[in-house]
Amino acid sequence: MYRFTNDYSEGAHPRILDAMVRTNLEGNFGYSTDPHSKHAHELIRAAIGRPDADVHILVGGTQTNATCLCAFLRPHEAAIAAASGHICVHETGAIEATGHKCIAMPAAEGGKLTPDTVRAAVAAHPDEHMVKPKLVYVSNTTEVGGVYTTAELEALRAVCDELGLYLYLDGARLSSALAAGGASLTDLGRLCDAFYIGGTKNGALFGEAVCILNPALKPDFRYIIKQHGGMLAKGWLLGIQFEELFRDGLYFEVGEHANGLAMKLKEGISALGYAFGSDSPSNQQFPILPNRVLDQLKDDFHWEVTSKPDAEHTEIRLVTSWATQPEAVEAFLSALANAKE
Amino acid sequence: MYRFTNDYSEGAHPRILDAMVRTNLEGNFGYSTDPHSKHAHELIRAAIGRPDADVHILVGGTQTNATCLCAFLRPHEAAIAAASGHICVHETGAIEATGHKCIAMPAAEGGKLTPDTVRAAVAAHPDEHMVKPKLVYVSNTTEVGGVYTTAELEALRAVCDELGLYLYLDGARLSSALAAGGASLTDLGRLCDAFYIGGTKNGALFGEAVCILNPALKPDFRYIIKQHGGMLAKGWLLGIQFEELFRDGLYFEVGEHANGLAMKLKEGISALGYAFGSDSPSNQQFPILPNRVLDQLKDDFHWEVTSKPDAEHTEIRLVTSWATQPEAVEAFLSALANAKE
Amino acid sequence: MYRFTNDYSEGAHPRILDAMVRTNLEGNFGYSTDPHSKHAHELIRAAIGRPDADVHILVGGTQTNATCLCAFLRPHEAAIAAASGHICVHETGAIEATGHKCIAMPAAEGGKLTPDTVRAAVAAHPDEHMVKPKLVYVSNTTEVGGVYTTAELEALRAVCDELGLYLYLDGARLSSALAAGGASLTDLGRLCDAFYIGGTKNGALFGEAVCILNPALKPDFRYIIKQHGGMLAKGWLLGIQFEELFRDGLYFEVGEHANGLAMKLKEGISALGYAFGSDSPSNQQFPILPNRVLDQLKDDFHWEVTSKPDAEHTEIRLVTSWATQPEAVEAFLSALANAKE
Amino acid sequence: MYRFTNDYSEGAHPRILDAMVRTNLEGNFGYSTDPHSKHAHELIRAAIGRPDADVHILVGGTQTNATCLCAFLRPHEAAIAAASGHICVHETGAIEATGHKCIAMPAAEGGKLTPDTVRAAVAAHPDEHMVKPKLVYVSNTTEVGGVYTTAELEALRAVCDELGLYLYLDGARLSSALAAGGASLTDLGRLCDAFYIGGTKNGALFGEAVCILNPALKPDFRYIIKQHGGMLAKGWLLGIQFEELFRDGLYFEVGEHANGLAMKLKEGISALGYAFGSDSPSNQQFPILPNRVLDQLKDDFHWEVTSKPDAEHTEIRLVTSWATQPEAVEAFLSALANAKE
């Protein structure tokens, strides 16, 4: 059985696990006040080119989004997101649970938000009888594998400046976005009010590093982390993981490995004549395959179903990660080639 | 200047105001525990054919919707509403402020929800990574003047039973819906889990009477009213108003008066060859008129703009109420007939 | 039966009711954007000596406190209040329902907060593992009838400045506090970050006028009012009432009338040799009377029980208002004098 | 430097870390739907003697308390806790952030709640103008090291049954409470509506296992976990840790080890003639030592200060854990014996 189910099916990259084992008994202060955490924060500040950034590492993605939006928004302020965005769909209303509406807008190609969409959301909310749009939420990569270019993020930054909005980026799969040639870490440091660098899906056991650039959003963030249950007692575990990810480029390697195998899948599946639900340059691929073919593959490979375009076809999601082996990809392409339609 | 701006531009129906003046100094216990409130509750229970109903009269509509949904839903449960629904758009995120997502679905003709739409909303939320749809929110009349028939509400009740959902009806403009031949008060008593009978837009100074039919939704509702700031100290003021509205049919008269004049507007405007943005049988009419015509009327009449279908035309909203005078309608139709395109 | 139950047992002062009747059909824009509201806001700004104040009139007291604290505080920030304070006890957790902790501190004489108490509350919350005290809540009069002097409020202002706290005053019974020689309206305008001038218990049918002085607390307050269900559709009703209260001193007269009768009660009861649970200079009096005496009075007078100091005695609360008649006070004192211990 | 700072200064018990390393690459479904999690749940159900329990493992303690209380309580319902309780003081208002008041009551000896205290809290909240007490929160051990006996918990269960309250126990330091002879795991399974078995302070890297016994509290708990950001993507990490803790008694060994060393500290310090702020039978000890003595120890040992009883003395907290070495205790006692007062 080869798994393409998701990018969080295995534990940690071996280098990260080694670091955790090595430091297990050294004794550290709690709640991310330890030297490993401070060092990790330094490494991240250097990587994003913002020595002034506040860095806080939380445990998981939904927790991070909810904590950030709760910290950044006043009660009547809302987030603008693609209707397919993680906060709109896959977080069990965590943002609403902190009191804020997510304004769901139709996504453009690749699951992305555009400046025009942001403008339309703001125009539709003109007065105090409606929520006040205040934050633009994007994720990189998007839910359908899309990757924001530097120019696209610059355009979003410009519309945010024009309309008085914050730009927030969810980097749950950021290593893959970076490896796909999207906006760089220093672009994010330059363009976002805040963003997070995902660990869980990029080689860590868990951990998401929030970088706050806008000084107005920095005060008292640790209070909000604690209030939302995101302050890990053994916080150095987060520091150790990001130290390893950012010490010598492991974070980038992880994305390159995953994307390399994803591109092999994409090319191989295309070469066999199959189409995709989304043209993804990143570690999630969405081929549309005949049900009869999938029946022949399903005992040897695991994936998720994303939609059923017609009675005979299914769109599936294949995900690669740091843990995916080249032979898994080869096995899949070989089985697909041999399957009978 | 004649106002068709809305149905809350004047104070109270004279009979209601008289009752308030008459009882001003009689002395009453606070917080709706007085005899007037109890009597009003009795009259409402009789009118809806549900002697077992719990009745609570709150001050305003947004407050009532937020209090009800907060009381009825667990934290992860969501409301299904038309995307144009009041809770989705015009309540400044009051529902989200109590922690609940409003699932905005495309409205059918007349701004209505259909069983198929409800089914689609539930199907799109299959597991715990998403909110759990639990309550269907409809308003009667709808935001665009639509009126639910008995059969339509029965169909919604059936799908709610099938899927384990509550059916909640916002009756901000219920007197107009009743006068338009929509589902009757006893239909609402029979089909809803809870609904409210609007006072503010139906002759009262203020006041919205919540009727809770489902026993599971009754416990401790007064705590939630108080917590949401909806428990009026001088609660008998609410009782007195609904006593007068339901003593001898005033509530129905109010809707008939408003609808009668709205139908005159509709027929007169149609006879002049103009179209409508929505085919409304109730007290809100949405004619599409040439901008040049509106320019000639705007000094003598007041309305709200609802949309601009093209560069030369504007859809406006004309609203009638218990306070609208027949001469206002005649003046409008006459001015419209005389305006030059 | 004479009622000393509370100060919200009757409707409106006759002058206010007259104004409502007179303007019933004039037609006004909704949501407090009408000329009456604007005029009332002007009158209030003049009365408090702050032409720069933002004034917003809401419907009720719990709603007002919850709306203000929700608007003013970030999620981790807390209010400091006397343990007997209205927000700590009598609002069904309305403040907590907006996410904020009320730090309940022991009250000093008269139910008041002192600078030392405020300092102690702040000292007990040193870091991000605890909430951050940010707002001092006082009410004038207090729950036990206490009245803050100018000097006492100045001392609280000083400690708030020292510790970076907001000073917020709940004026549900402000006319009585003013008539008792407490801090004046211009003192409040000078010393508070925000406060509200109560209407419900001071002659109005309903209505509480929030005055926001601190510019940092002003933005978007109307959004928060709407989100909390406090934006009355027929908002001019609030304007009309406060126009009348502040046009020519009615607000002060109301408090003087109530306090005058309360002082008669206090003196008469004292003269009969009875003690009080609290030495109140305002419209609430808390005599401690023998149960056998109360049994003889209870068919002719109504009051609330506040505590049972011992098996033979009960502390009751007697409240006077604009609507209390002098003969009610005389009747009570006479009956008390005639009762047999 | 020997650390008695707390019981979360080191990583995981070596056996747990070994299990994580061993399973790192095996591949598992996410979100605690994997076989390790299911097995851990089974082991816990067996240990608490409740095959019908719902078990859910969350990441941290504040998160667990907030998730449980949010899931169990309706909006107007409140928790009763000792004023020193973790939810009252050390969770940055996490409970209030979910909308619920914590009713802080004076703790009895050992930081415990008693039936009389619970009764007093309920008696003080008689109607809908106040929150409704609904859940009794206790922690075992308490904040000052107290341990509930079986009889004490049975008495709390009885008062909860009498008054319609839930009994919830926070077991952040449960292994120490068990080792101290407090109520057993099967007692908890029999007496609580819900409780959690702490992992973070009892040998795990992180993880707190909620056991829900009351069927009314079970539905949809996973939705609330997810909404509160507590659903770990790599949820099998939680399962693996609790598998190891409950496979063959490691959870009990951990508590016995910590308590054994704590008792050595207690006896040694007592033998030197020093008093304690609290008579703790568990892994937290609170000796009161002369400041001059502490000055001589502070370069070699780390502790937290809990209070300053007078100008010459300080109460400190010494905490032991699975990771504490016997030589640390010996070194402390020896240094204390040698210090000059």
Chain A residues with CB inside 8 Å of C129's CB?
Answer: 31, 226
Burial grade of A248 (CB within 10 A; 0-12, 13-18, 19 or more)? exposed
pLDDT over 90 (residue D251): yes
Q: D305 vs chain A: nearest CA distance in angstroms? A: 15
Question: For every residue of A72-115, which 3-state class applies, written as one string?
Answer: HCCCCEEEEEECCCHHHHCCCCHHHHCCCCEEEECCEHHHECCH
Question: Cβ of C125 under 8 Å from any chain A Cβ?
Answer: no
The answer, yes or no, to whether residue C140 has pLDDT greater than 80, is yes
For tokens 């050992």, the residue is D110
> Of D76, D225, D227, which has the smallest distance from its Cβ to B227's Cβ?
D76
Q: How far is A247 from chain C (nearest CA, A)?
A: 29
CA distance linking residue D60 with residue D225, whole number of Å = 12
The per-residue pLDDT for range C201-255, each reduced to its tens digit, is: 999 999 999 999 999 999 999 999 999 999 999 999 999 999 999 999 999 999 9
Residue range C14-249, CATH number: 3.40.640.10
Please report which helix (H) or strand (E) contains residue A245, including its range: helix A236-247
Residue pair A251/A316 in contact by the 8 Å Cβ criterion: no
| Residues of D whose CB is below 8 A from C78 | 93
* Facing B233 at nearest CB: one of C8, C232, C233: C8
Query: Is the Cβ of A92 closer than 8 Å to some Cβ of chain B?
Result: yes
Is D129's Cβ below 8 Å from some Cβ in B? yes
Q: Distance between CA B305 and CA B320 in Å, rounded?
A: 15
pLDDT tens, residue by residue, B274-307: 999 999 999 999 999 999 999 999 999 999 999 9
Interchain contact C128–A (C-beta under 8 A): yes
CB contact under 8 A, B227 and C92: yes
Instruction: Name B54's bridge partners.
Output: B212
**Which of B3, B6, B9, B70 to probe by mutation at the C interface, max C CB count within 10 Å?**
B9
Amino acid, res. C42: E
For residue D269 the two structure tokens come to 């310090």
Grade residue A341 by pLDDT with cuts at 50, 70 and 90. confident
Q: Could you write out the three-class secondary structure of B25-83?
A: CCCCCCCCCCHHHHHHHHHHHHHCCCCCCEEEEECCHHHHHHHHHHHHCCCCEEEEEEC
Nearest chain A residue to B88 by CA: give it: A130
Q: What is the DSSP letter of D7?
A: S
Non-local CB neighbours of C48 within 8 Å, separated by 6+ positions: C185, C186, C188, C189, C211
B7-30 pLDDT, tens digit per residue, is 999 999 999 999 999 999 999 999
Q: Are A128 and C99 an interchain contact pair (Cβ–Cβ within 8 Å)?
A: no
Neighbors of chain C by Cβ distance (3+ pairs < 8 Å): A, B, D
C307 residue type, one letter: S
User: Is C246 buried (19+), middle (13-18) or exposed (0-12) by CB count in 10 A?
Assistant: buried
Q: Between D31, D70, D75, which is nearest B224 by CB?
A: D75
D114: helix, strand or coil: coil
Please list, in sequence order, all residues whose beta carbon lies within 8 angstroms of the beta carbon of residue B273, skipping any fewer than 6 positions away: none
Taking an 8 Å cut-off on Cβ atoms, the answer to whether C104 and D104 are in contact is yes
C266: helix, coil or strand? Answer: helix
Each residue of A156-194: pLDDT tens digit? 999 999 999 999 999 999 999 999 999 999 999 999 999
Q: Which helix (H) or strand (E) holds A305?
A: strand A304-310
Instruction: Determine the residue of chain B that is closest to C87 in CA distance.
Output: B227
pLDDT band at D208 (very low <50, low <70, confident <90, very high): very high
Tracing tokens 């504040």 back to the chain, one arrives at: D62
The Cα–Cα gap between B135 and B192 comes to 11
**pLDDT of A12 over the 80 cut:** yes
| Distance, CA of A48 to CA of B81 (rounded, Å) | 43
What are the tokens at A31?
Answer: 């709640």
CA distance B126 to B124: 6
Q: What is the pLDDT of residue A255?
A: 98
pLDDT 10s digits, C177-188:
999 999 999 999
In what helix (H) or strand (E) does residue A212 lie, and over which residues does it extend?
Answer: strand A208-212
* Cα A129 from Cα A153, distance rounded (Å): 31
Q: Is C76 on the interface with A (CB under 8 A)?
A: yes
Q: Do D75 and B70 touch (CB under 8 A)?
A: yes
Kindly indicate the confidence band of residue C340, based on its pLDDT and cuts at 50, 70 and 90.
confident
Contact between chains at B92 and C223 (C-beta distance less than 8 A): yes
Cβ-based contacts of D90 with chain C (< 8 Å): 129-130
Question: How far off is chain D from C69, nearest CA to CA, in Å?
Answer: 14
Long-range contacts of range C269-275, CB-CB < 8 Å, 24 or more positions apart? Answer: C269/C333, C269/C336, C272/C333, C272/C336, C272/C337
- Contact status, residue C282 vs residue C259, Cβ threshold 8 Å: yes
What sign does the CA torsion over D183, D188, D192, D197 have? positive
Asked if D340 is an interface residue toward chain B (Cβ–Cβ < 8 A), one would say: no
Assess D240–A contact: CB distance below 8 Å, yes or no. Answer: no
Quick one: CA dihedral B54, B60, B61, B62, positive or negative? negative
Cβ contact, residue pair D229, A67, below 8 Å: yes
| pLDDT score of D266 | 98
Whether residues A74 and C99 touch (CB distance < 8 A) is answered with no
Cβ–Cβ gap B131/A104 under 8 Å: no
CB-CB: which of D71, D128, D131 is closest to B222?
A: D128
Q: Quick count: other Cβ atoms within 10 Å of Cβ C21?
A: 16
Rounded Cα gap, residues C232 and A11, in angstroms = 55
Q: Are C48 and C196 in contact (CB under 8 A)?
A: no
How do residues D152-203 score in pLDDT, each as one tens digit?
Answer: 999 999 999 999 999 999 999 999 999 999 999 999 999 999 999 999 999 9
8 A C-beta contact, residue B9 and residue B323: yes
Statement: residue C319 has pLDDT above 80: yes
pLDDT of residue D102: 98
Q: Give the CATH superfamily of C2-7+251-338.
A: Aspartate Aminotransferase, domain 1 (3.90.1150.10)
Q: What is the rounded average pLDDT of the residues A276-285?
A: 97
The verdict on a CB contact (< 8 Å) between B8 and C234 is: yes
User: Which subunits sit against A, judged by 3+ Cβ pairs under 8 A?
Assistant: B, C, D
pLDDT of A340 above 90: no
Instruction: Please state at what angle helix A14-22 crosses helix A236-247, rounded to 10 degrees.
Output: 130
User: In chain B, which among 178-217 make CB contacts under 8 A with chain C?
Assistant: 200-201, 205-206
Is there a contact between D93 and C99 if contact means CB atoms under 8 Å apart?
yes
Chain D's closest residue to A224, CA to CA, is D92
CB A174 within 8 A of CB A202: yes
Give the chain A residue whose CA is nearest to the CA of D17.
A21
Question: Which two tokens mark B178?
Answer: 């009743």
Closest partner residue to B227 (CB to CB) among C9, C97, C205 is: C97
Q: What is the pLDDT of residues B61-91, one digit of tens each?
A: 999 999 999 999 999 999 999 999 999 999 9
Q: How far apart are CA B277 and CA B149, in angstroms?
A: 21
Domain ranges of chain D: 2-6+251-338, 14-250
For residue B93 the two structure tokens come to: 């995120």
Mean pLDDT along residues D99-109: 97
Encoded amino acid at C328, one letter: A
Phi, psi of D310, deg, nearest 5: -155, 180
Amino acid at D118: V
Contact yes or no for C92 and D76 at CB 8 A: yes
pLDDT at C341 over 80: no
Burial D249-272 (b: 16+ CB within 10 A, else e): ebbbbbbbbbbebbbbbbebbeee
Give the pLDDT of residue D341: 77
* Residue B1: pLDDT band with limits 50, 70, 90: confident
**Which residues of chain A does D5 touch, with a Cβ-Cβ cutoff of 8 Å?**
29
Residue pairs between chains C and D whose CB atoms are closer than 8 Å: 52
Q: For residue B128, give how far its alpha carbon lies from the nearest alpha carbon of chain D (Å).
A: 5
Of D14, D17, D229, the CB nearest to A228: D229
Find where tokens 């009419």 sit. Answer: B285
Nearest CA in chain D to B127: D223
Give the separation between CA D86 and CA D95, rounded to whole angstroms. Answer: 10
Give D 215-234 residues with CB within 8 A of chain B. 220, 222-227, 231
CA distance B138 to B231: 24
**What's the half-sphere exposure (Cβ side, CA atoms, 13 Å) at A89?**
16
Average pLDDT over residues C145-158: 98
Contact list in D for residue B75 (CB cut-off 8 A) is 70-71, 98, 224, 227
Q: What is the pLDDT of residue C97?
A: 97
Contacts of A96 in chain B (CB under 8 A): 96, 99-101, 131
**B14-248 has which CATH code?**
3.40.640.10
ipTM: 0.97
Write out chain D residues lying below 8 Å of B74, CB-based.
71, 220
Residues with Cβ within 8 Å of C263's Cβ and at least 6 positions away in sequence, in order, are none
Classify domain D14-250 by CATH number: 3.40.640.10
d(CA A217, CA D6): 32
Place of tokens 């430091």: A23
Q: Which residue of chain D is at minimal alpha-carbon distance from B72? A: D74
Q: Compute CA distances A90 → A94, B75, B133, C97, D67, whole Å.
A: 9, 16, 14, 25, 18
Q: pLDDT category, B130, cuts 50, 70, 90?
A: very high
Query: Of B177, B114, B99, B116, which Cα lies nearest the Cα of B143?
Result: B177
Round to whole Å and give the CA distance between A234 and D12: 10
Q: What stretch of H or E contains D224? A: helix D221-227
What one-character DSSP code corresponds to residue B264? Answer: H
**Which amino acid, one-letter code, is at C134?**
K
Residue B47, SS3 per DSSP: helix
CATH number attached to the domain at A2-6+251-338 = 3.90.1150.10
Residues D224, B75: C-beta atoms closer than 8 Å: yes
Q: What share of chain D is helix, strand, coil (3-state, %, to 5)?
A: 45, 20, 40
Within 8 A by CB and 6+ apart from C175, the residues are C198, C201, C202, C203, C251, C252, C254, C255, C258
Q: CA-CA distance, C27 to B10, in Å (whole number)? A: 5
Query: Contact B128/D222, CB-based, under 8 Å?
Result: yes
Instruction: Give one DSSP letter per residue of C146-165, joined into a string.
Output: ----HHHHHHHHHHHHHHT-
Q: In what order do the strands lie in the sheet with B132-139?
A: B54-58, B208-212, B194-198, B166-171, B132-139, B77-82, B102-105
Q: Contact A96/B101, CB-based, under 8 Å?
A: yes
- Per-window interface: C 13-32 vs B, CB < 8 A: 14, 17, 20-21, 23-30
The residue with tokens 């510790």 is C163
Question: What's A14-247's CATH class?
Answer: alpha beta
Q: Residue B341: its pLDDT value, please?
A: 76
d(CA A97, CA A67): 11
Q: Which residue has the tokens 């069904």?
A: C92
For the segment C288-316, what is each residue's pLDDT rounded down to a tens digit?
Answer: 999 999 999 999 999 999 999 999 999 99
Q: Closest to D234 (Cβ–Cβ): which among A21, A206, A230?
A: A206
In the beta sheet, which residues pair with residue D142? none
* B17 to chain C: closest CA residue: C21
**Across A242-258, average pLDDT:** 98
Other Cβ atoms less than 10 A from the Cβ of B331: the count is 15
d(CA D288, CA D273): 10
Model confidence at D1, in pLDDT bands (50, 70, 90)?
A: confident
A241, A231 Cβ separation under 8 angstroms: no
